[in-house]
Amino acid sequence: MTQLLQGVADDMAAYPVLLDLLERQFDAAIRHHQEQLGHLAAEIGDLVDTLEARRALRVELAARLTGPNPSIAQVFALLRPEPRARLEADWQALERMVLAAKTAGRRNGDLLAEQFTIMQRVLHGENQTYEPA
């Protein structure tokens, strides 16, 4: 349980960093700072790998605590009222940060894809579906 709780606390500290990196990535994309984009992509990738490893460990630990097909509600039920309330509040905050990171990541991906498409049009011209008459 201690490892699971520590993983949640670590993620609570890491997601604001991820959100900041995603904002910096968006700004670099708007400003066409390619070198900065490369560095940010590496930082984001490393942090996401760390977050994913902690998530996988959390699922494994929850399964050890509650059995197969664990849920966070089952983990909550194992705690006394005060620690349970604290974990539930942290979990809700973590879920909000995860959704914000997904939204920012999608936004950044859409922007980068649009920029790539525009650059392809500039370099190679439009694909003509119909030939002029």
Q: Which long-range contacts (CB under 8 A, 24 or more apart) does 71-79 make?
A: 75/1, 75/4, 78/1, 79/1
| pLDDT tier at 132, thresholds 50, 70, 90 | low
DSSP, residue by residue, 92-115: HHHHHHHHHHHHHHHHHHHHHHHH
User: How does pLDDT run across 40-95, given as a tens digit for each residue?
Assistant: 999 999 999 999 999 999 999 999 999 999 999 999 999 999 999 999 999 999 99
pLDDT at residue 118 in the model:
79
Cα–Cα distance for residue pair 115/22, rounded to 1 Å:
17
Place of tokens 């700004």: 27
| pTM of the predicted structure, to 2 decimals | 0.86
User: How does pLDDT run across 2-47, given as a tens digit for each residue?
Assistant: 999 999 999 999 999 999 999 999 999 999 999 999 999 999 999 9
**Average pLDDT, integer, range 102-128:** 85
* Cα separations in angstroms, 127 against 65, 118, 130: 57, 12, 9
> Is the torsion defined by CA of 6, 93, 23, 102 positive or negative?
positive
What domains lie within the chain, and their CATH numbers? 2-124 (1.20.58.300)
What is the separation of C-alpha 82 from the centre of its chain, rounded to a whole number of angstroms? 29
Backbone dihedral angles phi then psi of residue 33, each to the nearest 5 degrees: -90, 85
Cα–Cα distance for residue pair 62/70, rounded to 1 Å:
6
Residue 128 has pLDDT above 90, yes or no: no
Contact by Cβ (8 Å): 14, 44: no
pLDDT at residue 39 in the model:
97
